Chain A
Amino acid sequence: MSELEQIPVSLSYWQDVRKRFFGNKISIVGLVMLVLLIAVGIIGPFISGWKYDDLGPDILVGPGSKGHWFGTDDLGRDIFTRVTFGIRLSLTVAIVVTTISVFVGVTLGGLAGYFGGWIDTLISRFIDTWQVIPFVLIGFAIITVFGSSFWVIVAALVFTGWYSTTRLFRASVMQVKSLEYVEAARASGATTKRIILRHIGPNAIPPIIVVLAFSVAGAILSESIYAFLGVGFREPTPSLGVMISSSRNFLTDKPFVFFIPGSILVLLTLSIVLIGDGLRDALDPKLRGVK
């Protein structure tokens, strides 16, 4: 392959990406699932006829009975309404957390990956330090002291998420940097700015898009794990993790209280993972032309 073909800034590259993405059945399934879930999250609360903290008289009634599509929980609250709010909450938290984490990751990872040397050592060892501390513990420390409000939880999730995006972006910049054509450009006397903008940047964008998708899924999972362990959102906030956690006692005789929020959480993360997967296949220039 010639050097020119490897610089993916051309229109044809993105057309190609689109074609590849929409040609992938699995990622289309993911996209449709996500769109449906978002639609339910937006419209659901308006059509359910209940509020998420309304305590009805019917406790633990099954799906479909007494005007509750998904049944009620142990306080008589409408599970459908709570689940729709849960989708909204999960996505909001995940998008906020991902935006911040990716911003931090691109900056630090880019610096470390491109310049190498002591900057890389410093940033990498800093990452190592954070990474060896179990993320659950950082969450526990922050949330037991500062309480479990929205922004504290976001902060805890960013503190535990920034380094993986940084690490991935650093690795991807290093990989691109060591490609022959970049080395060739450097050898031919191109300026740093030109190398970053023209050669490394465009090639490092696809990984960011993929990381973005996986970070959103990761943040949704982490948020629910915190809630499950008792350090994330709390009642009556309708977080999917909170709902699953409090369903544990009813697993034997009212399993729907677990299965409904559980499967919504799984479908939500799964749809995003599938999209991310499709994006990765579609964006990876090295896979072009290989079938």
Chain B
Amino acid sequence: MFTYTIKRLLQSLIVVWAAVTLMFALFFVIPGDPISLKSGEKSLPPEILANITAKYGLDQPTYVQYFRFWSHLFRGDLGYSYKNDKSVNTILHDGLSTSARLLFWGALLQLIIALTVGLTSAIKRGSLGDRIGTVFSVGIQGIPVFVSGLLAQYLFGVLPFQLHWDWLNFFKPWPQSWHAGIIPGDSWKGVVLPALVVAVVDAAFIARMLRSSLLEVLRADYIRTAFAKGLSARRVWFHHALRNAMIPVITVYGTSLIAIFGVAVQTEKVFSLPGMGSTIADSALSQDSPVVLGLAIVVIAFGAIVNLIVDLSYALIDPRIKIDSKAVH
């Protein structure tokens, strides 16, 4: 297990390096001269462009820029926005704190919904609850996040407002102050809709995965044996069934955590939240490459860590994976 962990860790580092390099190429090399893109409706004379180019160090050859990028990165300096000279570190801090809060509340809701729906529909297979759960979890998969976001705004914002049902109006501004960094200090209602939108998509997916995985496991011989041996249902469920059913669920959960960025972008755009997703999207559209890259590094590193954890827990739960990979080499 130790060697496997070290090996996977090294692989993850390579993955991060490769992904960041790819992003560097996509946003710094391919677009050509980023500063000439600074000219908008009013063009900038060549001398002014030269001043700005020198200010951002873009007059250097690409490989020098690339090495300088890494050396600055190791010193914790992500550079400055082309658009307004703001430090990318600050932009990252602002975006991350908003996104982290959104995703925290989203993930909490998600876990609650997924476990409840997944377990209920597996234990009571074929019951009305299972059917409702199935329809709900299948149905939600067909709805993209931006549509469910707009729908939520209509149902819990526009409609209650027009009907004067103020208690149902959850379309409120995102809180400005937070207790302990995570508990809304004002207008807690502002958190509900964005968090729900984040939670619902993958909650459904995970619930379904848990259900089918549980059903599969329940048919396995060892579960039958366990029941036959007269073990208590609770013990069989939680010790044998749930544990084994978790393997595919963990993979899916990991993938969904990586994909959560796509969810965050849409949610933040729909609800106008100043998080990582909307900042990257806006910066990418205005070709503010230092901001895109600086924020993307964090998203990439996050994805790599999640992948690593998924793989390691996979190996922990199902030792065959590790043995397999050993046997091959």
Contacts A116-B328, A266-B143 given; does A140 touch B281 at CB 8 Å:
yes
In the complex formed, the residue of B with least CB distance to A135 is: B262
Cβ-closest chain A residue relative to B296: A137
Residue of A125, A247, A271 touching B15 (CB-CB under 8 A): A125
Q: Are A129 and B292 also in contact (CB < 8 A) when A255-B158, A270-B139 are?
A: no
* Interface-side segment among B21-29, B84-92, B107-115, B188-196: B21-29
Interface residues in B15-54 by Cβ distance below 8 A to A read: 15-16, 18-19, 22-23, 26-27, 30-31
Closest to B262 in A: A136
Report the minimal beta-carbon distance from B9 to chain A, rounded to whole angstroms: 13
Q: Report B-chain residues with C-beta under 8 Å of the C-beta of A128.
A: 11-12, 15, 304, 307
Chain B nearest CB: distance from A249 CB in Å? 11
Chain A neighbourhood of B19, CB < 8 A: 129-130, 132-133
Per the 8 Å Cβ criterion, residues 222-253 of A in contact with B are 224-225, 228-231, 244-245, 247-248, 251-252
Number of interface residues of B (CB under 8 A): 56
Main SS at interface, chain A: helix
Of the residues A132, A231, A255, A266, contact of B154 by C-beta under 8 Å: A255
Smallest distance from the beta carbon of A90 to chain B beta carbons, Å? 12
Assembled-state Cα–Cα distance A230/B143 (Å): 19
Q: How many A residues touch B, CB cutoff 8 Å?
A: 54
- Interface-side segment among B74-82, B116-124, B145-153: B145-153
Complex contact B142–A273 (CB within 8 A)? yes
Within the complex, what minimum Cβ distance (angstroms) separates B255 from chain A? 8
Write out, one digit per residue, whether chain A residues 165-191 have a CB within 8 A of any chain B CB (1) or not (0).
Answer: 000000000000010000000000000
Known contacts A217-B141, A224-B144, A225-B262; is-contact A136 B281 (Cβ 8 Å): yes
The answer, among B143, B258, B277, for a CB contact under 8 Å with A131, is B258
Query: CB distance B266 to A258 under 8 Å?
Result: no
Interface contact B31-A144, CB-CB below 8 Å: yes
Chain A contacts for B265, CB-based, 8 A? 134, 136, 229
Chain A residues contacting B277 (CB-CB under 8 Å) are 136
Verify B147–A244 contact, CB threshold 8 A: yes
Asked if B154 and A129 make an inter-chain contact with CB atoms under 8 angstroms apart, the answer reads: no
* A37, chain B: closest CB distance, angstroms: 12
Q: Which of A228, A255, A269, A270 has the most CB of B within 10 A?
A: A228
Q: 25 interchain pairs (CB within 8 A)?
A: A116-B328, A120-B328, A130-B19, A132-B299, A132-B304, A134-B296, A134-B303, A136-B262, A137-B26, A141-B23, A141-B27, A145-B31, A178-B324, A228-B146, A228-B266, A228-B269, A247-B150, A251-B158, A258-B150, A265-B147, A268-B142, A269-B144, A270-B142, A277-B138, A286-B219
Enumerate chain A interface residues (CB-CB to B < 8 A).
Answer: 26, 116-117, 120-121, 125, 128-138, 140-142, 144-145, 164, 178, 217, 221, 224-225, 228-231, 244-245, 247-248, 251-252, 255, 258, 262, 265-274, 277, 286, 290
The 10 closest A-B pairs by CB, nearest first: A270-B142, A132-B303, A140-B284, A141-B26, A269-B142, A134-B261, A129-B18, A128-B15, A228-B146, A132-B300
Q: A117-B329, A244-B146 are in contact. List 4 more A-B contacts (CB 8 A).
A: A125-B15, A128-B304, A130-B19, A221-B144
